[in-house]
């Protein structure tokens, strides 16, 4: 029974096991109290068969995976049959990748609003196909996810170039402990604002930029005031927009509020990595740090520059830290070299990464 409940996709149970082998297997399936149905990259025929048989399992489904990626029309068909996620009273994990070119935004909003009626704990949402000049009319705002009292793990991504007012309606602290904001990059004003809203945060994965939004007022960060301590924070992963680098002092201002941090990973333009600055930060504020990964990026680098950057990290302090890694990476213009490389954008892997993490 544990095999069916924890390790086998409900899609496979319906298509390969239920009422197809023997009565003993059927009795085991009927006795199962929880199922996980992953429809991501599901074949259209298998999806249609499973959707018709889903009512027999709906009260026991704890995990759902739905995606429009390479399966256009899947979410529309699913929401046409189940307009609200409250149809799944035991739903605890949802992976939801929608393309508004193929979905009705009103249906999407009704479904997302209904999450308040479920015991949802893990939520990964990716929204693409939003015209930047129209996204406000869709009511897509992070506030609705932050205000879900049971959510502990949240991942979010969208194709909108800047998040504008995504956070404006978030007015009270959330219970989120694991947070991934995969796309787009956000500025330090919003970064600081979000951290204050998640006092119980243990894991953070976010992309930062120094770019200013041209739509609303810029949120300032007052470095003269100590940032509220985040004693629960254990892992922090930061990716910095290579075109709009950030200041070390701004990043350090927030990292100093994480005294119990165990793992830190920063990918950013090489100018952010002054070896002495990082050593001072670690010895004064991040004394419990166990694993450090610093990835410095450059588009063009001459041999002398490489030596200057890397030699700074060869002092006794850095040599003794065997779990600390500094890596200098050169960014290559693939188009200039006419190389054909098939790759998936960072935005396209958010749901897969989040599922692997938990």
Tens-place pLDDT, residues 150-202: 999 999 887 766 555 556 666 678 899 999 987 778 888 888 888 888 999 99
More confidently predicted of 17 and 174: 174
Q: With a cut of 80, say whether residue 283 has pLDDT above it.
A: yes
Q: What is the mean pLDDT of residues 65-82?
A: 88
Per-residue pLDDT at 254? 92
Cβ(156)–Cβ(145) under 8 Å? yes
* Greater model confidence, 37 or 242: 37
pLDDT of residue 341: 33
Task: Answer whether residue 301 shows pLDDT above 90.
Answer: no
Distance, in Å, from the CA atom of 186 to the CA atom of 143, rounded to the nearest integer, reads 16
Q: Calculate the average pLDDT of the chain.
A: 78
Residue 21: which residues within 8 A CB-CB, separation 6 or more? none
- Residue 271, pLDDT > 50, answer yes
Q: What are phi and psi of 105, to 5 degrees?
A: -55, -35
Q: How confident is the model at residue 131, as a pLDDT?
A: 62
124-128, 226-230, 285-289 — most confident range = 285-289
Dihedral angle over CA of 337, 343, 349, 352, nearest 10: -140
Q: What is the pLDDT of residue 109?
A: 85
Every domain of the chain and the residues it spans:
34-212+221-291
Choice between 288 and 72, residue whose per-residue pLDDT is larger: 288
pLDDT of residue 213: 58
Q: Which has the minimum average pLDDT: 34-48, 142-156, 215-229?
A: 215-229
The pLDDT of residue 332 = 47
CATH number given to 34-212+221-291: 3.80.10.10
The pLDDT value recorded for residue 24 is: 61
- 142 compared with 96, residue with greater pLDDT: 96
Minimal CA–CA distance to 182: which of 352, 65, 346, 345? 346
pTM of the model: 0.83
Top pLDDT among 346 and 98 is at: 98
Contact 143, 167 (CB under 8 A): yes
Q: Whose structure tokens read 């950013």?
A: 268
Cα(254)–Cα(249) distance, integer angstroms: 9
Residue 224 in this model has a pLDDT that exceeds 80: no
Region 46-67: what's the mean pLDDT? 86
């Amino acid at each position: 029974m544990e095999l069916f409940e924890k390790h086998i996709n409900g899609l496979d149970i319906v298509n390969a096991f239920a009422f197809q082998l023997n009565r003993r297997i059927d009795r085991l399936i009927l006795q199962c109290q929880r199922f996980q149905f992953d429809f991501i990259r599901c074949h259209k025929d298998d999806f249609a068969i499973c959707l018709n048989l889903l009512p027999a399992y709906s009260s026991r489904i704890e995990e759902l995976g739905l995606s429009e990626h390479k399966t256009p029309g899947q979410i529309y068909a699913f929401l046409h049959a189940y307009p609200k996620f409250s149809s799944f009273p035991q739903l605890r994990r949802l992976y939801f990748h929608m393309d508004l070119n193929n979905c009705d935004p009103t249906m999407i909003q009704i479904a997302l609003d209904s999450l308040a009626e479920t015991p949802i704990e893990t939520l990964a949402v990716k929204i693409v196909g939003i015209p930047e000049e129209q996204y406000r009319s869709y009511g897509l705002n992070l506030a609705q996810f932050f205000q879900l009292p049971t959510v502990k793990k949240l991942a979010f991504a969208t194709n909108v170039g800047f998040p504008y007012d995504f956070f404006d309606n978030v007015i009270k602290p959330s219970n989120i402990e694991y947070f991934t904001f995969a796309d787009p990059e956000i500025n330090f004003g919003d970064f600081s604002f979000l951290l204050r809203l998640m006092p119980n945060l243990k894991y953070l994965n976010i992309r930062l930029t120094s770019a200013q939004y041209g739509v609303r007022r810029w949120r300032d960060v007052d470095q003269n005031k100590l940032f509220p301590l985040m004693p629960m924070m254990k892992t922090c992963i930061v990716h910095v927009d290579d075109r709009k680098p950030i200041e070390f002092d701004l990043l350090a201002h927030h990292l100093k509020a994480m005294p119990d941090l165990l793992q830190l990973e920063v990918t950013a333009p090489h100018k952010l990595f002054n070896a002495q600055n990082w050593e001072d930060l670690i010895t004064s504020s991040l004394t419990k740090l166990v694993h450090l990964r610093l990835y410095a990026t450059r588009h063009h680098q001459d041999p002398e520059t490489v030596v200057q950057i890397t030699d700074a990290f060869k002092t006794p302090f850095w040599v003794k830290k065997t779990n600390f890694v500094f890596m200098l990476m050169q960014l290559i213009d693939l188009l200039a070299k006419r190389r054909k490389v098939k790759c998936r954008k960072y935005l396209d892997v958010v749901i897969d990464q989040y599922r692997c993490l938990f």
